[in-house]
Amino acid sequence: MFTRSVRKHSRLVSLQHARGRCGGPGSTHEDVDGVRTLLQLCVDRHYVSPGQANVERFQRGLGCCYGPLGVELRRNLLERWWDSVSRSSAQVFGISSVCSSSLHGGAHGHTTQKIVDVDRLKETLKQAGSKEQLIQEVHMLLQGSASLRTNFLQAALEQYVPSLELVNRKLPFGLAESGVCFQSSDGCAAEVTQASLVWFCSPKTSSHWMDHWARQRLKWWKKFASSPSDFDSSDVPAEELDGTASRGVKVVYSFPWGQEPLETLWNRGDAELLQMHKGVRNKLQSRDGRKSVPHVVSVTANMDRGVMAYLHNSLQQLKRENSKQKLQQRKVLKVHPVLAPVKVALDIGRGATVELRQICEGLQLELQEAEISVWPGYLDTVPTSMEQLNNKYDEMGVLFTVLISENTLESGLLQVRSRDTTIKETVHISEIRHFLSRYISAADSM
């Protein structure tokens, strides 16, 4: 059968001295190969769209073009993130702001990316008289242009006042948002899909809440890992604290080229909230006891890097001997059942294809209604061996492969192969939905 490869070991070795970029100084050859294999697999199996620049963005934890499987994985991850922060306590509300506003840049000045109307700028260049006039007019045009958000903090601080009404001025509560934010990377615009929780609590409870969220967030990231020890958290050194923050914590993932932050938490105090609302304390005060202005704990996750981390974490390369006693490598993407973009592939064996297809269509509908994502392998009419099919599905991270055959027509029995054990079971068609639901929810509650 299968024997575990040395991947696990080689990664541990490499982490001891690899802190540069992938392929840079400090990375071993095995690392470079491992990362290359992963990225190639992500492209081949439609997690990430092809193209070197795109794949590089993906590796660096930036927004990139995703293929169908990547879209689903990121969507599942975002949904889980949202559930975990909003259900952990009663009062978390979702908000949604716009990407660009004249405010972001004005109030804080740390955004250097602005949206400029090219036609208007070109017009300005044409019309201006002297060089001095030209410079002045370009500056004016820039001043009137909207800045792109770098995070969701400003939007949440703004929304604090109407939201306080919503909870009848009672703390604590949180405002959550997810979507695209913009960063400046080497003078170019780079996008990141962020998920953000901004938590408002009384000053005396803020360090308790900071501890709570830091613990919760690390636990959450580890929950979906194949190898949880690659996820860790640490305090931000005092000299690197963000603005007025009194404490910072980063949840990091150990890539072969070093640790990178997945989620960052700051205990920010009340300074930014007061600044946003121009110091009008009575607008900000909560109802309980001391009429205090709340302190802010912010939690910001990079979901693009999260996708990369989980894909890296879940790729296992296993060696086995084939029938001719030759060593073969089997690659399996052991993405957590809850996150896996495809839960089940439906395929048909040889036989009366019309009837078998009809069974597949019915089953697909039934599973989709139970929110179980299905890969309609039965639609593919190009013949492939079962081994090739299994290899493909393992690389896609498909949890189960269901094979419907002539036998199903007679007895109602299906063959179900598990990605993780490679064991094949026989299940009755009326049981399959329940079988899959139970498996996924069991994995979720572990």
The footprint of its own copies on residues 352-381 (CB under 8 A) is: 361, 364, 368, 376, 379-381
> Among residues 148 and 251, whose Cβ is nearest to its own copies?
148
User: Minimum CB separation from its own copies for residue 245, in Å?
Assistant: 25
Distances (CA, A) of 343 to 102, 199, 248, 330, 435: 44, 34, 37, 20, 12
241 and 248 Cβ atoms separated by less than 8 Å: yes
99 binds its own copies (CB under 8 A): yes
* H or E stretch covering 105: helix 102-108
155 binds its own copies (CB under 8 A): yes
71 binds its own copies (CB under 8 A): yes
- State both tokens at 112: 């250097």
271 binds its own copies (CB under 8 A): no
Size of the site for its own copies (CB under 8 A): 74
Question: Considering only 25-33, 91-99, 258-266, 270-278, which stretch makes contact with its own copies by CB under 8 A?
Answer: 91-99
Nearest Cα residue to 367 out of 400, 326, 405: 400
355 and 407 Cβ atoms separated by less than 8 Å: no
Question: Considering only 62-70, 196-204, 269-277, 294-302, which stretch makes contact with its own copies by CB under 8 A?
Answer: 62-70
Crossing angle between the packed helical segments 52-59 and 303-314, to the nearest 10 degrees: 90
Task: Tell me how far apart the 2 most distant CA atoms of the chain are, in Å.
Answer: 88
25 binds its own copies (CB under 8 A): no
* E strand map for 224-358: 231-235, 247-255, 258-269, 295-302, 315-321, 327-333, 344-348
233 and 193 Cβ atoms separated by less than 8 Å: no
User: Minimum CB separation from its own copies for residue 206, in Å?
Assistant: 21
> Among residues 3 and 384, whose Cβ is nearest to its own copies?
384
163 binds its own copies (CB under 8 A): yes
- SS3 assignment, position 442: helix
Identity of the residue numbered 386: M
- Between CA 161 and CA 164 the distance in angstroms is 5
Nearest Cα residue to 317 out of 38, 117, 12: 38
> Among residues 35 and 43, whose Cβ is nearest to its own copies?
43
65 binds its own copies (CB under 8 A): yes
446 binds its own copies (CB under 8 A): no
User: Minimum CB separation from its own copies for residue 15, in Å?
Assistant: 31
Distances (CA, A) of 267 to 210, 235, 246, 392: 6, 11, 6, 46
- Between CA 110 and CA 132 the distance in angstroms is 26
105 binds its own copies (CB under 8 A): yes
Half-sphere exposure of 80 (CA within 13 A, CB side): 23
User: Minimum CB separation from its own copies for residue 309, in Å?
Assistant: 18
135 binds its own copies (CB under 8 A): yes
- State both tokens at 309: 């981390």
Q: Which of 64, 332, 338, 340 binds its own copies (CB under 8 A)?
A: 64
User: Minimum CB separation from its own copies for residue 269, in Å?
Assistant: 24
Q: Which of 95, 236, 241, 274 binds its own copies (CB under 8 A)?
A: 95
User: Minimum CB separation from its own copies for residue 323, in Å?
Assistant: 27
Binding mask 114-133 for its own copies (x = CB under 8 A): xxxxxxxxx--x----xx--
Question: Considering only 2-10, 12-20, 96-104, 410-418, which stretch makes contact with its own copies by CB under 8 A?
Answer: 96-104
166 binds its own copies (CB under 8 A): yes
User: Minimum CB separation from its own copies for residue 146, in Å?
Assistant: 5
Residues 180-199 that bind its own copies (CB under 8 A): 180, 182, 184, 187-189, 191
Residues 274-333 that bind its own copies (CB under 8 A): none
Strand duo 92-94 + 173-185: pairing: parallel
> Among residues 118 and 327, whose Cβ is nearest to its own copies?
118
> Among residues 17 and 170, whose Cβ is nearest to its own copies?
170
> Among residues 115 and 442, whose Cβ is nearest to its own copies?
115
Q: What are phi and psi of 335, to 5 degrees?
A: -65, 140
In the chain, what is the straight-line distance between the N-terminal and C-terminal CA atoms, in Å? 27
